[in-house]
């Protein structure tokens, strides 16, 4: 076919070309219908609707007591465009602290497409507390640099120990069958090490958590990286107290058995007792000469009608004892800078400073000091359970006291070079206290849904003592 003197290959080509030109003006007809249209097609509108998110249990404004908390938490959610379950975040804010509950919730895209809840194995998922991290130089505890959630064990025995020279720490309690490792760097989140039993005593040394089990004359060492049993050390009795001397690599164990009347020095590299230190008393407290290259240990116990502090050198030779009075101290700490030992006195609201000569000085601090721990720069911190405060003691005087909303339970300030840690008790409540459960989640378009409820928690009721026949 020719057009304007040109050879055109085919009619269909001509029609297509003509329609393409004509479409610029009026459109090209098609299929027996009403012709083409020049009206543009609108693109899909962007998704700006937040996901639906709600707590199915517990209910908003529900009331609980500290000994009867919710047995589970359930969250329902939905979104027409689909959810990004990996963005779920759940927290409990109570008594001045915020606990991250997110790791308790499964986010499988199939099983948890519409809801998620805490596992059945967690019978009291809210019963958690926090470890607060501060810069080492921040002796006024003015700025929290990290918060890690851990289960709340037995409050009187919750402890934080130095794990290794890298600055990692570990939290344990007699009421918990796991220990929790705190990292020295990166995201400040506790990782769980399952022990399989609630320890009666524990200590950390060179990346291994050593735990004593009720009824066993052994120490079970758990690798803090893998959770596997790294060693089992046999002891002459069931240990009740354990401490580790980092500089010498020695561990010390004391025993409650009145027939024992001894302490054991343990070479952890060899995994065996390498020295027995005889005593004339049952040690109630144990501490090491931290920072002293020649090692040594301190023990406090009842002897000759009162409590006394007994120092021992690395060879087990006893030094000058210090008389402490008729009541048992609560805890002891060695101040490497001064060579003095500080002991907390719950009944007299004071610390007792014991000098190497055996001389003692009482130092008034806050109400009911329950724990004491050393600063690497010198001096000690006293945790005052009656006043929910921490006092810094230098020499024989208080350099400052800081109050908290929650009760501090234990502390660590001599591990690595960067941080001080405080284990807090968010559940030490004096009156009915409001807490807030909050959840957030994003959909695939990036919109965030939020849900929040208020719960009320009251202290465990005190049951009046009734005399027989009354």
Least confident range from 248-262, 288-302, 383-397: namely 288-302
**Cα torsion 146, 152, 157, 163: sign:** negative
| Tokens representing residue 85 in the block | 């379950």
Choosing among 3.40.228.10, 2.60.40.1220, 3.90.1150.10, 2.140.10.10, the CATH entry for 55-122+431-458 is: 2.60.40.1220
Element (H, E) at 21: helix 11-22
Q: Which of left, alpha, beta for 249 (phi over 0: left; psi -120 to 50: alpha)?
A: left
**More confident call, 2 vs 386:** 386
* Residue 40: per-residue pLDDT: 57
pTM, whole model, 2 decimals? Answer: 0.85
Domain 128-425 has CATH 2.130.10.10: yes
Contact assessment for residue 368 and residue 352, using Cβ atoms and an 8 Å cutoff: no
- In this predicted structure, the answer to whether residue 55 has a pLDDT above a threshold of 70 is yes
pLDDT, tens digit, 9 for 90 and up, residues 3-36: 444 444 444 433 334 334 344 344 444 444 444 4
- In this predicted structure, the answer to whether residue 90 has a pLDDT above a threshold of 90 is yes
Residues of the chain with CATH 2.60.40.1220: 55-122+431-458
- Mean per-residue pLDDT of the chain: 89
* Residue 238: per-residue pLDDT: 96
Residues of the chain with CATH 2.130.10.10: 128-425
The contacts found for 144-151 with CB under 8 angstroms, 24 or more apart, are: 145/188, 145/419, 146/188, 147/97, 147/98, 147/100, 147/188, 148/180, 148/182, 148/188, 148/189, 148/190, 149/99, 149/100, 149/101, 149/189, 149/190, 150/180, 150/190, 150/423, 151/127, 151/176, 151/178, 151/180
- The whole-angstrom separation of Cα 78 and Cα 69 is 27
Beta bridge partners of 4: none
Contact assessment for residue 131 and residue 423, using Cβ atoms and an 8 Å cutoff: yes
């Amino acid at each position: 076919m020719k057009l304007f003197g040109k050879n055109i290959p085919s009619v269909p080509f001509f029609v297509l070309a003509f329609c393409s030109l004509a479409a610029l003006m009026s459109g090209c007809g098609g299929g027996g219908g009403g012709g083409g249209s020049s009206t543009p097609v609108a693109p899909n509108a962007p998704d700006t609707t937040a996901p639906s998110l709600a707590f199915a249990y517990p209910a908003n404004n529900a009331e609980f007591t500290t000994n009867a908390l919710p047995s589970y938490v359930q969250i329902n959610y939905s979104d027409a465009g689909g959810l990004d379950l990996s963005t779920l975040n759940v927290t409990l804010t109570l008594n001045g602290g915020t606990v991250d509950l997110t790791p308790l919730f499964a986010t499988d895209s199939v099983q948890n497409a519409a809801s998620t809840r805490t596992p059945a194995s967690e019978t009291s998922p809210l019963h958690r507390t926090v470890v607060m991290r501060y810069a080492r130089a921040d002796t006024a505890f003015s700025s929290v640099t990290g918060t890690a959630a851990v289960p709340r064990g037995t409050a009187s025995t919750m402890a934080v120990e130095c794990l290794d020279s890298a600055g990692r720490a570990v939290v344990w309690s007699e009421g918990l069958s796991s220990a929790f490792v705190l990292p020295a760097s990166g995201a400040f989140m506790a990782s769980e090490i399952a022990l399989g039993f609630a320890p009666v005593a524990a200590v950390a040394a060179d990346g291994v958590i050593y735990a004593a089990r009720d009824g066993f004359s052994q120490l079970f060492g758990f690798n803090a990286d893998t959770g596997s049993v790294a060693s089992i050390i046999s002891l002459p009795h069931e240990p009740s107290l354990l401490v580790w001397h980092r500089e010498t690599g020695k561990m010390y164990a004391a025993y409650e058995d009145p027939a024992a009347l001894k302490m054991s020095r343990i070479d952890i590299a060899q995994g065996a007792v390498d020295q027995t230190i005889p005593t004339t008393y049952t040690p109630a407290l144990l501490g090491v000469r931290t920072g002293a290259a020649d090692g040594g240990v301190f023990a406090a116990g009842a002897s000759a009608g009162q409590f006394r502090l007994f120092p021992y050198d690395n060879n087990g030779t006893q030094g000058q004892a210090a008389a402490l009075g008729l009541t048992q101290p609560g805890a002891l700490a060695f101040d490497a800078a001064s060579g003095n030992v500080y002991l907390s006195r719950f009944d007299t609201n004071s610390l007792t400073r014991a000098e190497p000569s055996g001389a003692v000085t009482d130092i008034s601090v806050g109400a009911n000091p329950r724990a004491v721990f050393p600063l690497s720069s010198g001096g000690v911190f006293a945790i005052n359970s009656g006043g929910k405060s921490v006092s810094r003691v230098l020499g024989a005087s208080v350099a400052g006291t800081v109050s908290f909303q929650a009760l501090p339970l234990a502390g660590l300030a001599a591990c690595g070079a960067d941080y001080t840690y405080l284990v807090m008790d968010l559940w030490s409540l004096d009156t009915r206290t409001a807490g807030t459960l909050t959840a957030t989640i994003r959909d695939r378009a990036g919109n965030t849904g939020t849900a929040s409820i208020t719960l009320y928690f009251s202290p465990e009721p005190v049951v009046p003592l009734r005399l027989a026949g009354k």
